[in-house]
């Protein structure tokens, strides 16, 4: 025997429960609603962003470095005091930098091919070579005299 579960009393009971839930919800919302006196007109804040403007073109003017006043920039490819050189043409054997200009000078250390130095003094002629006093820009202790036959002038780094 099958019973009919949907009848008038079931539908009427469901509507009754729904009405009770709606009433309870409205009462709950009414208690949490803000006080009517707090609600009022508040003007919106407006931020005005100005439109883009053209930027004037400014040509840079060189500023002289006080430490460089009186120094001469060597011509490209020329070894000169204040310029930079790199060791070249040693076929991987390196170049002995010496305490004094000349082959009799005590070797201080070995400079390697492509190693860069700044020229600080010279030239001096000794033993049929032109000698320049070089200092490594990254280590002031790596300094000595080197023959120009194994040096190549390079632009300032």
The long-range contacts involving 137-143, CB below 8 angstroms and separated by at least 24 positions, are 137/84, 142/97, 142/109, 142/111, 142/117, 143/97, 143/108
- Report pLDDT for 78: 85
Q: What are the structural domains, with CATH classification, of the chain?
A: 74-154 (2.30.30.40)
Helix (H/G/I), strand (E/B), else coil: 150: helix
Backbone angles phi and psi of 26, in degrees to 5? -65, -40
- Report pLDDT for 58: 74
**pLDDT one digit per residue (tens) for the chain, 157 residues:** 556 667 888 888 899 999 999 998 888 777 665 655 556 667 778 888 888 888 777 777 777 766 665 555 666 778 999 899 999 989 989 999 999 999 999 999 999 999 999 999 989 999 999 999 999 998 999 999 999 999 999 988 7
**pTM as predicted:** 0.54
- Report pLDDT for 61: 75
């Amino acid at each position: 025997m099958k019973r009919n579960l949907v009848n008038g009393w079931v539908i009427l009971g469901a509507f009754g429960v729904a009405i009770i839930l709606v009433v309870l919800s409205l009462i709950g919302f009414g208690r949490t609603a803000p006080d009517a006196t707090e609600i009022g007109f508040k003007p919106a804040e407006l931020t005005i962003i100005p439109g883009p403007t053209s930027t004037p073109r400014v040509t840079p003017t060189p500023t002289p470095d006080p430490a460089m006043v009186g120094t001469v920039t060597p011509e490209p490819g020329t070894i000169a005091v204040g310029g930079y050189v790199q060791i070249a043409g040693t076929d991987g054997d390196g170049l002995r930098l010496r305490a004094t200009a000349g082959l009799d000078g005590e070797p201080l250390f070995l400079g390697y091919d492509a190693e860069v130095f700044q020229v600080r003094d010279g030239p001096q002629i000794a033993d049929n070579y032109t000698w320049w006093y070089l200092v490594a820009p990254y280590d002031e202790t790596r300094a000595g005299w080197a023959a120009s036959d194994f040096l190549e002038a390079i632009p300032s780094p």
